[in-house]
Structure formats: C-alpha cells, structure tokens
Amino acid sequence: MAIMRFWLALLFVLLVGADAAAAATEADYAARRRVLVKMIEQDVRATRRYLGKTELDPRVMEAIAVTPRHEFVPPQQKRRAYLNRPLPIGHGQTISQPYIVALMTDLLGIDEDDVVLEVGTGSGYQAAILGVLVKRVYTIEIVEPLGRAAVARLARLGYDNVEARLGDGYYGWPEHAPFDAIVVTAAGSHIPPPLLAQLKPGGRMAIPVGGRFQTQQLLLVEKDAAGAVTTRQVIPVKFVPLTGGH
C-alpha cells in the first residue's frame, strides 16, 4: 500500500509539474510574440520609404500576435521561432521572415469575407495568419512531405477554414477561383498567367519575382473592376524558387 501511495504521489507531481511547465511556456510564447510584433513594427518604420507608410494594418499585427509560430517550425528551431527571421523547415525550404509575412498579408488588403489562395504552403504559417483574417484560405504545396505535414498541423491547431492540397501552384486552384487575393511565397521569373486569370476584378496579388541569383522584387499586382492589371515593385526580397514543370 505504501509503495502504491508513493507511485501515486510521484504521478501527481509529474502531472501537475508538467502542466505548470506547459502553462508557463504558453505565457512565455505569448510574451515573445508581443516582442516580435514590436520588431516587425520597427522594420516597417525602417522600410517606410519602400512601403509608403509607417505602419501595417492593425488586424494583421494582431494575427501575428495570436498565431503560434513555434508550432510551425521543426523542434530544433522552436527556441528561435519568435526571432524576426526566416527559418529552415526541411527539404531546402524555409518559413518566411515574420516581417515579410506581415507585409505580404497587409498588401493584400483583405477583409473577413474574402477567399484567398496561397501558393507555397511550406509550414502553413502564412496560411494560418490568413485563416485568422479571412473567410476561406486555399493553399497549395509542391513538396509532398511538407504539404502532408502542413495539412496535419493546420488540422491539429484547428484552422478549419484553411484547405491545403499538394500540387503545382503555378496553375492555381481553378475549382475555387476567382480569388479576392492571391499570395505567392516562392519566386518565379514571371507572374503565372493562370494566377492572374484566377484573380477577381478588384483583387490583389502579392508575389516575389526574379531569378535565384538575381535580386527579386516583391510585386503588388492589382486587377481593377474592368480587369486591367497594374503592377508595382514594393521592396527587394529573397525567396526560395518557385519550382514545377511550367
């Protein structure tokens, strides 16, 4: 009996202890996210000449503040999850720098009724940020293990309005088109015509364009109500290449 009580006591200590540690960690992550928001705000001010403004949409910053980036990086990167830096996610790919995620999301000018397409799911972090802000997100990943992991992760974290699939995002997702906004998180040599075709009149697309060894430019592409397209260079960026058979 005594030994039984000992084991029960030990179990109690382990469970309560683990619980307390987990709670502390969540609070700690939330605090780190608040610091991250400050760092992004600083970067936005530092790049105001490119952006033509000194702050991003507060809703976007709030989405950054509530989204658990540490859940989207490999275990060994967790302690770096709230640095304002891209991080490796395996298969030669990266989760984008939070400042860039915030900026691209801001450029889309989205609202809560929007349906958005993302090309390049990667970790699923950008899709999760969009999921907080809009009605529905469709996201496509070409690297199978990354795509599968992202689907499982987004489901586990409860992002029910995000649908992810494997495939070549160059061709978009015609079944769900047209989209209010499109974000491409890998750089190609040009704007894929199928994506332009799947953008709604009045819609916006944020996309990096440029070769692997060239300076890439983040472009904001706007299609007006009459279907005319204008393009503006926002800021030089560095993204992994848009691959696929096109």
Q: CB neighbours (10 Å) of residue 175?
A: 6
The alpha carbon dihedral of 24, 25, 28, 29 has a sign of negative
Q: Tell me the per-residue interface mask from 48 to 77 with ligand SAH, x by CB under 6 A, - otherwise.
A: ------------------------------
Residue 243 sits in the site that holds ligand SAH (CB under 6 A):
yes
Q: Under a CB-based contact definition with an 8 Å cutoff, are residues 94 and 72 in contact? A: no
Structure tokens at 216: 């890439």
| Angle, vertex CA 74, rays to CA 23 and CA 68, nearest 5 | 40
**Annotation says 189 is catalytic:** no
Q: Tell me the per-residue interface mask from 110 to 129 with ligand SAH, x by CB under 6 A, - otherwise.
A: ---------xx-xx-xx---
125/138 with CB nearer ligand SAH: 125
Per CB under 6 A, the segment of 44-52, 137-145, 155-163, 173-181 that binds ligand SAH is 137-145
Peptide bond into 178 cis (omega under 30): yes
Residues 172-191 touching ligand SAH, rule: CB under 6 A, are 185-186
Least Å distance, CB 15 to ligand SAH, is 34
Residues 74-103 touching ligand SAH, rule: CB under 6 A, are 93-96
Residue 169 sits in the site that holds ligand SAH (CB under 6 A):
yes
Structure tokens at 9: 């006591």
Distance between first and last Cα of the chain = 71
